[in-house]
Structure 1
Amino acid sequence: MTRKLISSGSTFEKEIGYSRAVVEGNWVLVSGTTGFDYSKMTISDDLLEQAEQCFKNIVVALQQAGASMKDVVRVTYVFPKAEDFEKCWPIMRKYLGDVRPSAMMLAAGLSDPRMKIEIQVTAYRSTDTE
């Protein structure tokens, strides 16, 4: 199997030394993704806008890997403020409500104080046509 590296074009990837996603066989591992709009390298101050942008960034990475949100089997949410988790439930449900992957939420500091949420997903590209 050939490993495929996917980049969002974010300056962070080059500076830190990681990929937005790695494809290994049918597995797609999407790195922790924040609410930055990578095309502009800007981030909103609004929690819900950041959550929405996280998912938009993840959707793009999955598409580049030949996958979609329907293929997500695991999701990890990280919030600097645990109380922000419930506020994001409607956005999480919008993207993953029908998929219902295994999930975990952590409360931890993020690398930039402007970041209010970070989301990491693992997807499995099925060969089934169902």
Structure 2
Amino acid sequence: MTRRLISSGSRFEAEGGYSRAVVDGADIFVSGTTGYDYATMTLPEDVGAQAHACFRNIAAALAEAGASLDDVVRVHYIVTRADYADVLFPIFGQYFAKARPAATLIVAGLLVPEMKIEIEVTARRRT
């Protein structure tokens, strides 16, 4: 199987020289994804709303690759504040109740102050 690039249509991908996701065989690598609505280029203020939007964007990329959130094997969460954990953990559990991927949570600054969370995943399509 050849390598395939998936784009969300975001101008960030073209400017930054990256893809929303790369499919290589059974593996799917989804770039760090924020909560932007790429159609309107808006970002919710609330960290919980941003997390839900991240998962919608990731799920869309995975679907285009022939996979779903249930196929995720690794996730990196990057949040701008540690105290977001109480709000975010139940959201993470909602989306990954079945997959239960290996996970890492990192507290760090993001590109713009409005961004509160970014999520990167690796998935593997089951054969």
Q: Supply the AA of the counterpart residue of 2:68.
A: S
Q: Supply the AA of the counterpart residue of 2:56.
A: K
> What are the superposed Cα offsets for residues 51-78 of structure 1, whole Å, 9 maximum, x if unpaired?
0000000000000000011110001000
Q: Supply the AA of the counterpart residue of 1:103.
A: A
For 1:36, what is the secondary structure of its paired residue? coil
Q: Does 1:7 align with 2:7?
A: yes
Match of 1:64 in 2: 64
Match of 1:44 in 2: 44
Matches within 5 A, 1:1-130: 1-127=1-127
CA distance in 1, matches of 2:23, 2:90: 29
When the two structures are superposed, what TM-score results if normalisation uses the length of structure 2? Answer: 0.97
Q: Supply the AA of the counterpart residue of 2:108.
A: A
For 1:122, what is the secondary structure of its paired residue? strand
CA distance in 1, matches of 2:70, 2:80: 27
CA distance in 2, matches of 1:40, 1:113: 19
Q: What's the RMSD between the two structures over aligned residues?
A: 0.8
CA distance in 2, matches of 1:126, 1:21: 17
Deviation at 1:86, TM superposition (A): 2.6
Q: Structure 1: which 5+ residue stretches go unaligned?
A: none
CA distance in 1, matches of 2:9, 2:112: 18
Q: Structure 2: which 5+ residue stretches go unaligned?
A: none
